[in-house]
Amino acid sequence: MEYLRLSHEQARAMIHHAQASYPAEACGLIGGQANTAHLLIPVTNVAANPNSQFQMAAHELLQGLKTIEVAGFDLIGIYHSHPKSDPIPSSTDIQMAEKHYPQVAQVIISLKYQRPRLKAWHIQPGRVDALDLIVGKSVAETPSYRLSRAQQMAIVLAACLSLIIMLSISLTLLPPAPLLTPAPR
């Protein structure tokens, strides 16, 4: 997974859920297809310390997963909020994602700043990668900046060849070195 696409309305709904749950963390499910969200399902946070962690209510989680499946979608993401910290996964977030949902995006809504911030992550065992979070734009409008291995090698080779050519030209443009005469004895 390289990106997650949300509509403006979905992003606003997640932010509203996070703000309404403050100071507790909000949480929910994201259903969709091909990295594009189509369905958000808020779930009650039943964690022992809901202001610093989240745990989805089991019956709501199961009902939400069933709703996503009946609608013909896949679970493509989990969202939760960080009421007082940055939208960066905590060690607890990482452990939970690795254990329960390593194949889906993790969206974190931060309420630390005046304007809420959203960030998407792909958390797999031993690896945490930032995802491009596309809000309101189609994938076709978003250019891909990832280069293939062959393209990367071509750039490195071109840079090396350019450096060699520049050095060669520079050396030919230098004036000849002065003749050194031996010092008198």
**Residue 184 φ then ψ, to 5°:** -65, 150
Please report the pLDDT score of residue 151 as a whole number: 73
9 flagged as catalytic: no
CB of 118 closer than 8 Å to CB of 131: no
pLDDT per position as a tens digit, 30-85: 999 989 999 999 999 999 999 999 999 999 999 999 999 999 999 999 999 999 99
Beta-carbon neighbour count of residue 60 at 10 Å?
Answer: 18
Q: Taking the model in full, what pTM does it have?
A: 0.72
What sections of the chain are H helices per DSSP?
8-21, 58-70, 91-100, 149-173
Q: What are the residue ranges spanned by the domains of the chain?
A: 3-137
Could you tell me the pLDDT band of residue 152, with boundaries at 50, 70 and 90?
Answer: confident
pLDDT per position as a tens digit, 90-111: 999 999 999 888 889 999 999 9
Q: Specify whether domain 3-137 bears CATH 3.40.140.10.
A: yes
From the list 25, 60, 69, 141, the catalytic residue is: 25
